[in-house]
Chains A and B, each alone.
Chain A
Amino acid sequence: EDQVTQSPEALRLQEGESSSLNCSYTVSGLRGLFWYRQDPGKGPEFLFTLYSAGEEKEKERLKATLTKKESFLHITAPKPEDSATYLCAVRDPNDYKLSFGAGTTVTVRA
């Protein structure tokens, strides 16, 4: 069974203090690793899809990278509006569905 582990569970940052979130996975034959942002009481919002080791994608202050065993979501100079829970998911190579990690809750203080 796929295993997706995110760390840390919670991250408290000062505005402007860059940091990284980790997502490690054990699925073989990865067919996509996905990052989502979720605000309290709302559905997850799609951020990035990564397919192969070495791939990187950026959106504003967020940058996602992928290796053969893990992915990182880097937050550069975060602002309070970056506060959210960030979810990582991997796609089962033999299936349509995604398996999600438990998420990292990021709080950015002004």
Chain B
Amino acid sequence: DVKVTQSSRYLVKRTGEKVFLECVQDMDHENMFWYRQDPGLGLRLIYFSYDVKMKEKGDIPEGYSVSREKKERFSLILESASTNQTSMYLCASGLVSSGNTIYFGEGSWLTVV
């Protein structure tokens, strides 16, 4: 089975803090993604990576950055957390040759106070 593991399920951070969300996949997938999910807004793509050290902005990249130094790991960074970044963050991975089906982790609930 595909396993996408997000390091933290629940986090509470203060405004202005730097926040790291880590994601690891064990299926040698080329593509990895970070989404956020908010009530009424659905899933929105923040960033994605199609290969190691490669990244592209999604629909809502402002206030976020990412890092992909190894194929299995994709990190989302909030440089200076703000209250409007309180959300559920979902990491996903996929393989282009599989028709780009992507598999999600369990999610990280971030509250910024």
Contact = CB atoms under 8 A, between A and B. Distances in A.
Contact of A96 (B4, B31, B42): B31
- Secondary structure dominating the interface of A: loop
Nearest to B6: A43
Contacts of A100: 42-43
B90 A44 contact: yes
Contacts of A49: 99, 101
Q: How large is the interface on B (under 10, 10 to 19, 20 to 34, 35 or more residues)?
A: 20 to 34
Nearest to A45: B104
A23 interface: no
B61 interface: no
B105 A43 contact: yes
A26 B41 CA distance: 19
Contacts of B104: 36, 43-46
B43 A87 contact: yes
Interface of A: 31-32, 34, 36, 41-46, 49, 51, 87, 89, 91, 96-98, 100-103
Interface of B: 4, 31, 33, 40, 42-43, 45, 48, 50, 58, 90, 92, 94, 96, 99-107, 109
